[in-house]
Amino acid sequence: MIELAPGFLVSPQIRPTDIATAKAAGVTLVINNRPDGEDPLQPKGADIADAARGAGIAYVAIPIGAAGVSDTDIDAFEAAMSKNKGKTLAFCRTGTRSTVLRALARARSGVEPDALIEEAAAAGYNIAGLAPRLIALSQSAR
């Protein structure tokens, strides 16, 4: 788990057994951004959801496939985040899609794109290619 921002962690693929570690880290919401079946060896989202709920952690699936992040995905992310008052863990295969989704949502709320790109870079994710979309979203929020 990598802290992208205070209260928001991203991670490569997690397993049901990783939920105990997330719980110990104070996670209260898990967001799964990986579609089931991307890799035959990945755990099923339902198994991770069961483990999370069993640990008292909310779980939301917002699968992001090859088409990338849609406005509907951003809406779902914002809705999930608005209900969570604690720490969030978002994951996908590498953590990149989760990082991108958060950046797009934050840009849509008016956060400066350069700050989002720098935040992602500090966590090891290069989202500089999203600059035009981040700028457009940020400007439309003003």
Tens-digit pLDDT profile for residues 1-11: 999 999 999 99
- What CATH number has the domain bearing residue 69? 3.90.190.10
pLDDT of residue 66: 87
| 119-135 b/e (C-beta count within 10 Å ≥ 16 → b) | bbeebebebeebeebbe
Compute the distance between CA of residue 123 and CA of residue 82 in angstroms, rounded to an integer. Answer: 23
Q: How far apart, in Å, do the first and last CA atoms of the chain sit?
A: 33
Q: What is the pTM of this model?
A: 0.96
Q: How confident is the model at residue 141 (pLDDT cuts 50, 70, 90)?
A: confident
CB 88 within 8 A of CB 4: no
Domain count, the chain: 1
Strand partners, 75: none
Q: Please state, for a pLDDT cut of 70, what percent of the chain lies above it.
A: 100
Q: Helix, strand or coil for residue 9?
A: strand
| 38-71 b/e (C-beta count within 10 Å ≥ 16 → b) | eeeebbebeebbebbeebebbbbbbebeeeebee
CB atoms within 10 A of CB 104: 23
Mean pLDDT of 115-127: 98
Q: Per residue in 51-103, pLDDT tens? A: 999 999 999 999 999 899 999 999 999 999 999 999 999 999 999 999 999 99
List the domain range (segments joined by +) for residue 11. 2-140
pLDDT over threshold 80, residue 142: no
Compute the distance between CA of residue 102 and CA of residue 13 in angstroms, rounded to an integer. Answer: 17
Mean pLDDT of 33-53: 97
CB 51 within 8 A of CB 19: yes
